[in-house]
Structure formats: C-alpha cells, structure tokens
Amino acid sequence: MLLHGIAGTGEAFGAGYDPLAERGRLIVPDVLGFAGSMNEERSDFSVERHLEALDGMAGALQLDGAALTVAGHSMGALLAVRWAARRPETQRVVTFCAPLYRDAAEADRHIGAMGWQERFFALETPFAHRTCAWMCRHRRLAEWVSVAISPQWPVPLSRRGVQHTWHAYLGGMNGLIRSPAWVDALQRLADRAVSVVLADGALDSVPVPGRAAEVAGRFPSVSTSSHPAASHDLPISHPDWCRALLTQAGP
C-alpha cells in the first residue's frame, strides 16, 4: 500500500513502482479528499475518517488478514504509520520524507522557516484560504497555474495537485502533519516488533534534521536511510532507490 502526500495523488508512485506488483498486490489509492477521492460536499477529513476510508478499502479489496507492507510520502508517511499501527497484519512500514514534528508549534515554526511560499500557502492563513477558494471556483485554470509555478513536477501531477478542498487540506495538515500522534503509533508498532524504515533525502528541508535518527535510537525496530542527492520529491525523483527499500527484508 503506497500513500501519497498532501495535495497529491497516487500517480506520484509511477511506473517505477510497477515491478512491486510482481511480488504481490500493489495498491496505490488517492487518499480521502484528494485527486480521484476529492469530495466537495464533505467537510469531515479528520484522521479517523482517513483511517476508516483505508479500512473500508482494505475490506472491499479483501485484504483483511493479508500480510501488509505500508508506505507513504510526507503526509502519507504519517497516515501510513497511523494506519499500520491499527492493522495487526502489518509486517513492514516505510516512510519517505516524513514530517515528524513534536507538536503543532514546532510544525508551524519549521514550515514557516522554509520560505515565503510555505508560510503563505502551507499554513492556515487567510491568504491560503482565499487561494484555495479561488481554485475551487476556477479549478481547470488552477490546474494550469499549478503547472506553471511547479515546472519541476510532471504535468499530470501538477494538475492533479489542485484537486482538493480547503476542508481536505486542513484535515491533512492539522490532523496528521501538525499532530504528534505518530509517536504513539510508532510505539505500538515497536511493541509488535514491526520493522519501520524512515527514509528521506539529504536535501529535503521538510523533515527536522536529526529527528529520524533520534526516533531510531528510541525504537529498536526503527531504522533510517537517506538518499544523498534527493529532496522532498524523493519517491518521484528516485523510484528505483525507494522501490529497493520497499522490497528489503527485515529492518
């Protein structure tokens, strides 16, 4: 199971991940509220709703009881940890570029220090709210604006990146990224000796420096891995490296 980041789509895990389907079932959803799962009528995108949606999908796909490797990118990394902790069949978890913030205040400080775009668009500001409202009214135009301001991303990903609502964005930001509940989830995984790999890119400014190593020092079942040339787009820019982590056995 591969879970994408905030304002993303499952298409972020592109053809480079297709070989995983040769080893078992490969499931890459658009998580609740984003891209193909966008719902403009829904206002509740709390973590519990996200987890229920994944549980419902697992049930519909007859995955209950099947051995699971759960992975995610950025916000999806936190969702992967939270969901894996409540699924007893989870055998392995891999996170890419996980924003492991201790609390909401640390999240806001860290994100705000990353640059003006993050301060204006990522945090819950009036400007971000107005921008999101404009996107909802002019979604087709917003798709191409997103392409213009994010030339480093493949065009389909940039276009799909605006397919969400303000409620969905806030649900992911406040319920997952700004929440410290990942600590308890990792503890529950550690209690079951589930292998967890915290992977990131050495050039990524989203994770807190040293946090992954700190967490690995606390939980014996957690290990770290870092790509020396990757940034926050690690799963997109280096799929072979990420796929190798997903297929490794043990910690």
Residue 131 C-beta-side C-alpha neighbours within 13 Å: 16
Helices 182-191 and 75-85: crossing angle, nearest 10°? 40
- Mean pLDDT along residues 8-26: 95
> Which is more confidently placed, 142 or 122?
142
pLDDT at 153: 75
Report the pLDDT averaged over residues 125-152: 77
Give the confidence band of 229 by pLDDT, cuts at 50, 70, 90: very high
Burial classification of residue 120, based on how many CB atoms lie within 10 Å of its CB (0-12 exposed, 13-18 middle, 19 or more buried): middle
Longest dimension (CA), the chain: 49
pTM value surpassing 0.85: yes
pLDDT in tens, 149-162: 777 778 878 888 88
The whole-number pLDDT of residue 249 equals 59
Q: Which whole number is the average pLDDT over 154-179?
A: 89
pLDDT of 120 reads 54
pLDDT at 133 over 60: yes
- Domain with residue 22: its CATH number is 3.40.50.1820
d(CA 68, CA 202): 28
Among candidates 112, 124, 98, which has minimal Cα distance to 181?
Answer: 98
- Statement: residue 191 has pLDDT above 80: yes
Cβ 112 vs Cβ 88: under 8 Å: no
**CA 165 from centroid of its chain's CA atoms:** 17
Q: State the residue range of the domain holding 19.
A: 2-247
For the chain, the domain total comes to: 1
pLDDT score for 251:
45
Q: Is residue 142 scored above 80 in pLDDT?
A: no
β-pair partners for 198? 95, 224
Q: Residue 193: which of 236, 223, 214, 149 has the closest Cα?
A: 223
| Three-state secondary structure call for residue 226 | strand
For the stretch 82-128, pLDDT in tens is 999 999 999 999 999 999 999 999 999 998 888 756 665 566 677 67
DSSP 74: T
Return the pLDDT at 127.
67
pLDDT of residue 68 exceeding 50: yes
Which bin fits 24, alpha (ψ -120 to 50), beta or left (φ > 0)? left
% residues pLDDT > 90 (the chain): 75
Average pLDDT, the chain: 91
192 vs 195: CA distance, rounded Å: 9
